[in-house]
Amino acid sequence: MDTLANVPVVDFIRALICVSFIIPFLLTFLILTFYSPRSTARQCLGLYYLTFFYGAIYTGLFYSGLLSNFPWFYHTDICCSLLSMPLSLLFVRAVCYQKAPSKWDAFHFLPPLFYLVDHFTPFLPSTPSPQLIVVVQALIYILVQVPILFRSYTAPQQKETPPLSWMLQFTVLQLAIPLFMVTTPVFPIAGSLLSMMALYLHPTILYGLKPRPAGKSKTNLDMEFIDRLALRLEKTMREKKPFLNPDCTLRELADTLDVPLYKLSAYLNQTLGTNFSEYLNQWRIRHCLELFREKQTEHLNLNGIARKCGFNNRNTFSTAFKKITGKAPSTYLHAED
């Protein structure tokens, strides 16, 4: 009681806040690890939040002044911080690349292992500031994660996948680790808590639920509606050319046509036998062929032609061009010459 009486009010409030984080972190870990269908991504994410569960306990003890009663517990939160970022990278990679960890990924966990050996044994020479190591490691892993997410987020087939927007938030909030680790561990825990709260809005990640396949539940479209939509869609694509906007979405096109989004999606899937991304690419390649015939691309390279036709980059342009025409764009250019 004497120890608690000497704790400043602000620090005591911080301790209560940290302790209140414990249950949500533990609950999320249990859901991801035991309740959800087993997958590498969810297991890595569950372990990631488990490290912050431990960190919340440590921080609560620290600010309450009770940490001195557990001397072996001191500085073990650094080990959890060193574990969290490798687990984060493995999660992001598993979701974006569908890639399971390999034996080489064990090297990611050498820093926390060395830290434990250094902390509990006298055999290794003294290391630099543990906080500095955590800050440098967090920045390195964030810089590795961002390009992975960027490539996945800009890929046409992934652009409208909701979990990717959460993963961007997830990575941005990790900046709390290097920014505030040198001042107080409350901020990294708060950043992780925010990403965890947002996670509950995405059951695809949390519970492993999958959207119902489009073929299992068809939307009935009458022939009169199909005929009207076909004419209106053709006119819109020819006159307004929405496909030239690389960020064009199905919702934007549905709003332009003044039709429900689900009906437009059903028309593309059931009547035309394609999806929105492929439909846009068909128009883009058709527009590209017109530019070739009219000699409007002689001053452009492939990247310039791709952007002029509504593609984000030359790789997606080349892939779509070859899929639709059966030729690579460069081969077609030579043939036209």
* List of residues 6+ apart from 30 with CB closer than 8 A: 46
The stretch 242-266 carries a mean pLDDT of 89
pLDDT tens-digit readout, 5-32? 444 555 556 556 656 667 788 888 888 8
Identify whether residues 16 and 113 lie together within a single domain.
yes
Which of 99-113, 157-171, 198-212, 229-243 is predicted most confidently? Answer: 229-243
Kindly indicate the confidence band of residue 280, based on its pLDDT and cuts at 50, 70 and 90. Answer: very high
Average pLDDT for the chain:
76
255 in the same domain as 130: no
* pLDDT score of 236: 92
Question: What is the spatial distance between Cα 322 and Cα 151, in angstroms, rounded to a whole number?
Answer: 21
Q: How many Å apart are CA 67 and CA 57, to the nearest integer? A: 10
Number of domains in the chain: 2
pLDDT band for 160, please (50, 70, 90 cuts).
Answer: very low
What is the CATH number for 284? Answer: 1.10.10.60
Helix axes 40-64, 9-20, angle to 10 degrees: 160
> Which residue in 17, 1, 18 sits closest to 66, CA to CA?
1
Same domain, 162 and 138: yes
Same domain, 158 and 232: no
Choose the weakest-confidence range: 58-62, 179-183, 210-214, 271-275.
Answer: 210-214
Domain carrying residue 236: 219-336
DSSP annotation of 267 reads I
- The verdict on 7 and 153 lying in the same domain is yes
277 domain-assigned = yes
- Counting residues of the chain whose pLDDT is more than 70, the rounded percentage is 72
DSSP state of 294: T
Give Cβ neighbours of residue 28 (< 8 Å, ≥ 6 apart).
Answer: 46, 49, 196, 199, 206
Note whether residue 212 is domain-resident. Answer: no
Three-state DSSP at 219 gives coil
Say whether both 144 and 12 belong to one domain. yes
Whether residues 39 and 84 fall in one domain: yes
Task: Based on the fold, state whether residues 277 and 163 are members of the same structural domain.
Answer: no
Taking CA atoms, 20 is separated from 24, 53, 59, in Å, by: 8, 10, 11
Q: Which amino acid is at 312?
A: N
Co-location of 179 and 226 in the same domain? no
On whether the pTM is more than 0.95, the answer is: no
**What digits encode the pLDDT tens for the residues 117-140?**
776 665 545 555 667 777 888 888
The CA distance from 41 to 97, in Å, is 11
Q: Is 299 exposed, middle or buried (0-12, 13-18, 19+ CB in 10 A)?
A: exposed
